[in-house]
Structure 1
Amino acid sequence: MLLEGKIAIVTGASRGIGREIALTLAENGASLVISGNKEDLLKEVAGEIEKLNQKCIIHTGDISKPETSKDIASKAIEAFGKIDILVNNAGVNTRIPTLELQPEEWQKVININLSGTFYSCSAVLPHMIKQQYGKIINVSSTTAKTPHRNASPSYGASKAGVNYLTQHLALEMAKNNICVNAVCPGPIETDMSLQWTEDYRKQVLAKIPLGRIGESKDVANTVLFLASNMSDFITGESININGGTYMN
């Protein structure tokens, strides 16, 4: 029970990687506030968390709006009195080539992936500073570090911004015993990967030194490590979870 007695917020927790992160934190003793834009799916995740004998509160809203993050933080404080862990998982990806990318689509991705992460951090940091403790884990992407033909430039730019924000907050908040790190998944089995053609899947696999596509649990286990006391001397890092696809 690495997180016994801890209170965590996980955004984008209704499915995929976010769902797995929320369940993994609960399995290790955390009570949670989970957010997303699909109330029915959030209720299902909350039900699974409660079966693990942990408390869970849901919140639906648009993470690209600053008031959403403020509401989530307020719910956590009202219900539990503190916030120990924030996992910024909510995000969106597009595959629109540069010359086809319209300004509104560019801005949408930036607003959700980068601004949403900033708003969530800004909402919880005052509470973490007050208690002189906190763990923030931002879900970024390998695409933040190296371009990918199958991703929109807005996605890579937004995640590169998340990596810089992670480092900046880590530096600024270290004096308050707040660790801020990021995880950078590569090819992971999600709802999106189920849409791949067999030919494309073979191409992806051929580029992974470890010879398999990652699972949501691979990401969740790394988040668990960063959320726990095992990582107390790690801050400002962006950890690749990609089977060796990209190494730095």
Structure 2
Amino acid sequence: MLAEKRAIVSGASRGIGRAIALQLARAGADVMVHGTRAELLQELAAEIAALGVRSAWIAGDVAQEQTARDAVAQATEEFGGVDILVCNAGINTRSSTLDMALDDWQRVMDVNLNGTLHFCRAVLPGMIAQGGGKIVNVSSTTAKTPHKNAAPAYGASKAAVNYLTQHLAREMAPHGIFVNAVCPGPVESDMTAQWDDDYRQRVLAGVPIGRLGTPEQIAETVVFLAGPGSDFITGETVNANGGTYMN
């Protein structure tokens, strides 16, 4: 489905980002992976290459604009351009509004919102020049409804990502660039593996389908939005959350 397409995935070291990178590669795309842990990125890039496509990796802090510029420049040099950008890098904190340190608020905004903006701004000139592209931002159900386990900064940052997604979709539509977001709900991860049984049952009680999602299921939604099947979809924030939030 994505043969000869060239992709960048930020925040790909593990979890949802890693699953996205592998699913894009399985669909035929060349994939550059970004993250903060070089050893994990090297392993992932080798796994992608073993699928028969080109791979590359770059480490850096998405809060720094130069990281995005370097990633796009490297992908353009190695692949010849970028057709697909997936902005997945993100962090969370857990504290109440009154307990939250302002430095924590700023760091979450810098990574989740500004990091997304940096990568979008870095990739858009090339997409405009080539006449099109697909951008998929990984947001959260928390962007649409409050959750007691997420700090205010996390939900606010992801709500801002949703607006940025819709704004870019409208602005970039004349250039053939489609911009959408995926809003995952509770997903099996390193973090959820640490939950005790009581807390897991309380989370599951809020999921209509009765189970957590998997990183691979989120990745499948991203691949759809990155592929030709979504060529009449832009500006959407797609819920992939087992029914925990419906609109």
Q: Give the aligned partner of residue 205 of structure 2.
A: 206
- Alpha-carbon distance in 1 for matches of 2:96, 2:193: 22
Structural RMSD (CA): 0.5
Tell me how far 1:229 sits from its aligned partner: 0.5
Correspondence 1:178 to 2:196? no
**3-state DSSP of counterpart to 1:49:** helix
- Alpha-carbon distance in 2 for matches of 1:112, 1:154: 11
**3-state DSSP of counterpart to 2:98:** helix
**3-state DSSP of counterpart to 1:210:** coil
- 1:182-222 deviation digits (Å, cap 9, x = unpaired): 00000000111111111010011111111111000110000
Corresponding residue pairs, total: 247
Correspondence 1:154 to 2:142? no
**3-state DSSP of counterpart to 1:33:** strand
Tell me how far 1:80 sits from its aligned partner: 1.2
For 1:42, give the aligned amino acid: L
Structure 2 length normalisation: TM-score? 0.99
Tell me how far 1:233 sits from its aligned partner: 0.4
- Alpha-carbon distance in 1 for matches of 2:167, 2:18: 27
- Alpha-carbon distance in 2 for matches of 1:209, 1:104: 36
- Alpha-carbon distance in 1 for matches of 2:83, 2:187: 27
**3-state DSSP of counterpart to 1:98:** coil
Q: Runs of 5+ in structure 1 lacking a partner?
A: none
Q: Give the aligned partner of residue 23 of structure 2.
A: 24
Structure 1 length normalisation: TM-score? 0.99
Q: Give the aligned partner of residue 244 of structure 2.
A: 245
Q: Give the aligned partner of residue 231 of structure 1.
A: 230
- 1:123-165 deviation digits (Å, cap 9, x = unpaired): 0000000011100000000000000001000000000000000
Correspondence 1:46 to 2:45? yes
Percent of matched pairs sharing the same residue: 58
Which runs of structure 2 are paired with 1:76-225 in the superposition (5 Å)?
A: 76-225=75-224
For 1:169, give the aligned amino acid: L
For 1:47, give the aligned amino acid: A
For 1:157, give the aligned amino acid: A
For 2:240, give the aligned amino acid: I
* Superposition misfits of 4+ residues, deviation over 3 angstroms: none
For 2:237, give the aligned amino acid: S
**3-state DSSP of counterpart to 1:101:** coil
- Alpha-carbon distance in 2 for matches of 1:102, 1:93: 13
- Alpha-carbon distance in 2 for matches of 1:48, 1:57: 11
Tell me how far 1:26 sits from its aligned partner: 0.2
Q: Which moved more, 1:194-203 or 1:154-163?
A: 194-203
